[in-house]
């Protein structure tokens, strides 16, 4: 499986943010997007997820399900956590599982996801009363409640302490080790096992 982007041109409002960008992410690999604020990292991730349409260029997932779009085969985690404050921790995770998962291991996935992100003892706790870091970990737990071959993560360590960031890195490393793909925008160094870096500032200079 391989994520391939060819000759991408992406506008944000009246401004051209991405110009003539091509890259590939191979199976079992993470691509780390770097560059200053406003360089286009979030815009690129949103285009990969199908939230915005490129002005020109193609995005495809070779080896994926031909009946599904790239976005339908991806987990996209942005700056917000998509946590429903009126639900408990376990109700949030169960909702994501029911909405996203098509397999038969719903309960096992929910329990394992909350345990991995250190939320298993907060299952009945209302999400409204979680700290910022706990809400971020809950938002990230949806990566594990349902299988998606492609993870699109925008500043995923925001609000996380060192130990929680290590939990995230462990999840990404397990995902790539088992053949998954990830594209991650971050300002912080992450101890990823199978990663390449794409500097969008350098790409802009080349263009």
Q: Provide the domain limits for residue 113.
A: 2-206
What are the DSSP E strand ranges found in the chain?
A: 2-12, 15-26, 30-34, 56-62, 74-77, 150-154, 181-185, 195-199
Question: Can you tell me the mean pLDDT for 107-131?
Answer: 94
Give per-residue pLDDT as tens, 143-202: 999 999 999 999 999 999 999 999 999 999 999 999 999 999 998 889 999 999 999 987
Residues 6 or more apart whose CB falls under 8 angstroms from that of 167 comprise 116, 117, 118, 137
With a pLDDT cut of 90, the percent of the chain lying above it is 83
The model's confidence at residue 205, banded by pLDDT at 50, 70 and 90, is very low
Give per-residue pLDDT as tens, 13-48: 888 999 999 999 999 999 999 988 888 999 999 999
Pairing of strands 2-12, 15-26: antiparallel
Predicted pLDDT of residue 124: 96
Burial of 134 (0-12, 13-18, 19+ CB in 10 A): buried
Looking up residue 79, the CATH number of its domain turns out to be 3.40.50.300
Q: What does pTM read for this prediction?
A: 0.92
What total of structural domains would you count in the chain? 1
């Amino acid at each position: 499986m391989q994520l391939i982007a060819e000759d991408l041109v992406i506008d944000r409002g009246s401004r051209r943010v991405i110009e003539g960008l091509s890259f590939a992410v191979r199976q079992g690999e993470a691509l780390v997007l770097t560059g200053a604020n406003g360089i286009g990292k979030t815009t690129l991730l949103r285009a990969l997820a199908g939230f915005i349409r490129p002005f020109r260029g193609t995005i495809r997932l070779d080896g994926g399900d031909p009946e599904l779009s790239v976005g339908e085969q991806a987990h996209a985690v942005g700056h917000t956590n998509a946590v429903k404050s009126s639900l408990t921790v376990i109700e949030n995770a169960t909702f994501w599982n029911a909405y996203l998962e098509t397999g038969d291991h719903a309960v096992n996935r929910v329990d394992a996801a909350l345990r991995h992100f250190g939320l298993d003892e907060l299952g009945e706790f209302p999400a409204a009363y979680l700290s910022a870091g706990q809400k971020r970990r809950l938002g990230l737990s949806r990566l594990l409640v349902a299988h998606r071959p492609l993870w699109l993560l925008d500043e995923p360590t925001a609000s996380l302490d060192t130990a929680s960031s290590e939990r995230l890195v462990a999840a990404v490393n397990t995902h790539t080790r088992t053949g998954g793909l990830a594209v991650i925008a971050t300002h912080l160094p992450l101890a990823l096992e199978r990663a390449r870096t794409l500097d969008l500032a350098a790409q802009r200079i080349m263009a």
